Amino acid sequence: MEGLKVWDAGLVVRVHPSKGNLMREAILRELSRHLFQFNEIFGGVLLAYDVDIVNKDAKIMPLMQPNHGVRLRAKLLFFSPKPNMLLEGKVVKLTPESIHVIVLGFTSAVIIDEDIREDFEFRTKHGKEVYRSKAHRQHVIKVGTMIRFLVKSLNEEILHICGSLRPTNTGSIHWLDKDFEEISLIDRSGTKKESENEMKMQEHSMAGGEELSLGNDQIKKSKKRRLREES
């Protein structure tokens, strides 16, 4: 899935002097406060981190007394969706006007009817709402389906995404991947048949050449016999 990015960053974390004996725990607690929040500096939502404390000797930070500053090296995993990126999420609600999705378990997304391609039609089957493809009857979207969709826009304050199912490479991930595998299998099968046909043609050509050579030898031998008989 697109939209995930790892940053290798140098950080300075402020820790209160009273936490001096539990420095690492205090640092991790401070970083955890920023999880699942949008960070303007990195342009994304912090999902996870891996920290290496560069200098364990905390120093008092200017203008920030009595806090101490601890320098860190950290790998930060951010979720940074941008327009035209492909994201994946789980369908949690369907209506005739929209499809509602949860991405990575915390970000909500909605795809309204004007952004759902005409190939999909809303139906109620056995009391359950589904979107079914007219061209491919097995391509079905229902509650619980994992789908791939295109990002149209992102509201950073409330972490809400507006998506689209207009492109043909969007829809049920299960169906898209299965369809891709079948196409790949057909391509491989076609290539294999072409190779087999080429080999057969080569074998046939070689066999024909051998027969022709044999025929020429026989012609030469017959000619020699006639010359001997005449002499």
Quote the pLDDT of residue 211: 41
State which residues of the chain have pLDDT below 50. Answer: 58, 60, 63-64, 185, 209-223, 231
Domain residue ranges of the chain, discontinuous segments joined by +: 4-79, 86-177
DSSP string computed for 172-225: EHHHHHHHHHHHHHHHHHHHHHHHHHHHHHHHHHHHHHHHHHHHHHHHHHHHHH
State the Cα–Cα distance between residues 37 and 48, nearest whole angstrom.
11
Quote the pLDDT of residue 218: 46
Reported pTM: 0.69
Question: Looking at domain 4-79, what is its CATH homologous superfamily?
Answer: RNA polymerase Rpb7-like, N-terminal domain (3.30.1490.120)
State the Cα–Cα distance between residues 52 and 24, nearest whole angstrom.
10
Report the chain's terminal Cα–Cα distance, integer Å: 89
User: From the centroid of its chain, how far is CA 196?
Assistant: 35
What 3-state class would DSSP assign to 169? coil
Question: Looking at domain 86-177, what is its CATH homologous superfamily?
Answer: Nucleic acid-binding proteins (2.40.50.140)
Residue 154: CB atoms within 10 A of its CB come to 23
